[in-house]
Amino acid sequence: MISLPGLNLSAPSIEPPSLIAPTVTRTQDLSAGTEFRFEVPFSRTLTIKLLSGTAEYFGTELAPSSTYSFSGAKGAIYTWHGAKLEIGGEAESEYVAEETGMMGYANAHFALENLRDKAAQTNDTGPRVLVVGPENSGKTSVVKILTSYAVKAGRQPVVINLDPRQGMLSVPGSFSAAAVSSIIDIEDGWGSSPISGPSPIPVKMPLVYHYGLKDPEESRFFRPLVTRMALAVTSRMEEDQASKLAGFIIDSPGAISGGKGGVYENVEHIVSEFSVNIVFVLGSERLYSDLSRKYSNRPADEAVHIIRLDKSGGCVDRDEMYMKALRQTQIRAYFFGHAGENALGPHSQVADFNDLNILRIKEASDSNPSFRPGDNDDDDAYGSSTEIYEKLTPSSLMQNSLLAVTTAAANERQEVIRDSSVTGYIYIADVDETKRKVRFLAPQPGQTPSTAMVTGSFPEDVPGLVS
């Protein structure tokens, strides 16, 4: 491992830093049952402090007199009892909403609590929840609220993210699962995966798989990974009593809620693999109706309850620009943490071309079945007997891309590589084709990983992560 001197590891912000210093503050009174909604672009910072009363941000309570800062966030501070907030900085838009879906979400939580209590009596598995709905219908927010409330009630639910568009405790393009026993970070999505030092919010320990594509249509990756994750989560729940009783909550990608002619293969796949027994449908009337019909005549002991929750009026469409910035922030945060006290120091290393075993996901269009025949003996359960990865020699094209470091050996079968969890991500900073050297960024120092590394079309390259 070589650390390159002169390599600027300090994180430059994506956009120019906030020009308006949040020195001027104002107070905002919220009456009980209302929420303060705001959108802050990545270039600005909004600070919010709870002066009196109680308030929560997607279910996580704001500590009294702590100042929270938001950047690149579209969020809402809800209060059950009324609150007075001190707000600093300027948001892109902000208003107080009187109609929220919170009562419904709270009811959903208490319905789950009933099931958890029941599970505790019978030593059964707690509620197994899937949240579905179109893009921007507030799925992740509902998952957060349900998780926060469960944690508040002393539970330890497992949260599973199957939406590659935004990562949970990891980078976008990944699927992850984590048992949540501590409060969710208000400022930073879900919080942080473990780091080598202390963290002001308890870290969460995720299990991460790399998906590497933007949308979950491809059955070659999505369903096998769902199956694999279901296996891991079920195994964990069998042994971990606290998680078993609390059950799990799955966040899903909006794309699977579209369906094809009223058939939702991916939803059904998740439901059957995870033995989901409660599906919360957000917004879409049609999806609710289709799923209700589909699961209406199941035997009572395997009943799947389809419950529709109102989409919050606060859900805003997040355009591709915002989503991209959000992804880049997530990737940056993976390596650098957040600016200020909680900054992380990734390690820059140089490796020989031969040290890296890079595989690239073959996109559906890339139909070249005989590229590397040979080591593919059995048929895959999902009919993709063709190769799913191709070996890749580093080239300057790979610059700025993200590689998932799997736990599988480089010479493993491709299905094994696909189904293996990842230990982390590295970022290709520079490729020197003449010297056959690759300079890359790894989260922690150590030997260059010799396991298989996977890259795909998603997440997109992050130019300028290291200048």
CA 163 to chain centre: 6
Report whether 35 belongs to an annotated binding site: yes
CB of 108 to another protein, least distance (A): 6
* Per-residue contact string for residues 123-162; x = within reach of another protein by CB under 8 A: --------------------------x--xxxxx------
Q: Give start and end residues of each alpha helix (H) in 255-373.
A: 265-274, 285-294, 320-336
Under the binding rule (CB under 8 A), the answer on residue 181 touching another protein is yes
CB of 72 to another protein, least distance (A): 20
Under the binding rule (CB under 8 A), the answer on residue 224 touching another protein is no
CA angle, corner 450, sides to 448 and 451, nearest 5?
A: 130
* Residues of span 355-394 touching another protein by CB under 8 A: none
Is the CB of 228 or the CB of 362 nearer to another protein?
Answer: 228
Under the binding rule (CB under 8 A), the answer on residue 14 touching another protein is no
* Residues of span 244-263 touching another protein by CB under 8 A: 245
- Cis amide bond preceding 463, omega within 30: no
CA torsion through residues 406, 409, 414, 415, sign:
negative
For residue 214, give the nearest of 140, 135, 314 by alpha carbon. 135
For residue 126, give the nearest of 32, 223, 204, 238 by alpha carbon. 238
For residue 112, give the nearest of 300, 291, 276 by alpha carbon. 276
Stretch that binds another protein, among 30-38, 86-94, 249-257, 352-360 (CB under 8 A): 30-38
Residue 458's identity, in one-letter code, is F
CB of 267 to another protein, least distance (A): 17
The total of other beta-carbon atoms located within 10 Å of residue 227's CB is 17
Under the binding rule (CB under 8 A), the answer on residue 196 touching another protein is yes
- For another protein, the binding residue among 54, 67, 386, 448 (CB under 8 A) is 54
Report whether 252 belongs to an annotated binding site: no
Residue 352's identity, in one-letter code, is D
Under the binding rule (CB under 8 A), the answer on residue 103 touching another protein is yes
| Dist. CA 332–CA 343, nearest whole Å | 11
Could you write out the DSSP letters of every residue in 122-144?
A: HT----EEEEE-STTSSHHHHHH
The total of other beta-carbon atoms located within 10 Å of residue 432's CB is 13
- For another protein, the binding residue among 134, 283, 443, 456 (CB under 8 A) is 443
Q: How many residues bind another protein (CB under 8 A)?
A: 94
Under the binding rule (CB under 8 A), the answer on residue 202 touching another protein is yes
- For another protein, the binding residue among 4, 96, 97, 232 (CB under 8 A) is 232
* Per-residue contact string for residues 313-332; x = within reach of another protein by CB under 8 A: --------------------
**Binding residue positions for ATP:** 35, 74, 136-141
